[in-house]
Amino acid sequence: MADPIIRAMDHYVILEPGKAEWITDRTETEAWLTRTLAAMDHVPDDLHHLPDGPAQAAHLLDTACELEVAPGQRVQWYAVRLDRDSGSVH
């Protein structure tokens, strides 16, 4: 089970091969994961029990931080806390 502190985080940094990292909120991250899953030829077996892409994306967001989208190619997302006073990410 995911650490409960993760659910308290509202923002994520997303890492995709060949692209600059970007910071997004939970809703945008779930949408990105839904699109990523839809573009895959084969969804991981441990997601098959979930009814649809949005449910699969929400499950991944709560339980993982990496997805192999093609052999040897992975995307990653990490919960971050934005420090509003200094503008930095933790």
Using DSSP's 3-state secondary structure scheme, residue 45 falls into helix
- Domain 4-89 CATH assignment equals 3.90.940.40: yes
Say if residue 89's pLDDT is above 50. Answer: yes
pLDDT digits (tens, 9 = 90+) for 9-58: 689 999 999 999 999 999 999 999 999 999 999 999 999 999 999 999 99
Say yes or no to pLDDT of 85 above 70.
Answer: no
| Domains of the chain, residue spans | 4-89
- Is pLDDT of 65 > 90? yes
Residue 10: the pLDDT is: 84
List of residues 6+ apart from 9 with CB closer than 8 A: 26, 79, 80, 81
For 5, the token pair is 């502190």
Q: Are 12 and 26 in contact (CB under 8 A)?
A: yes
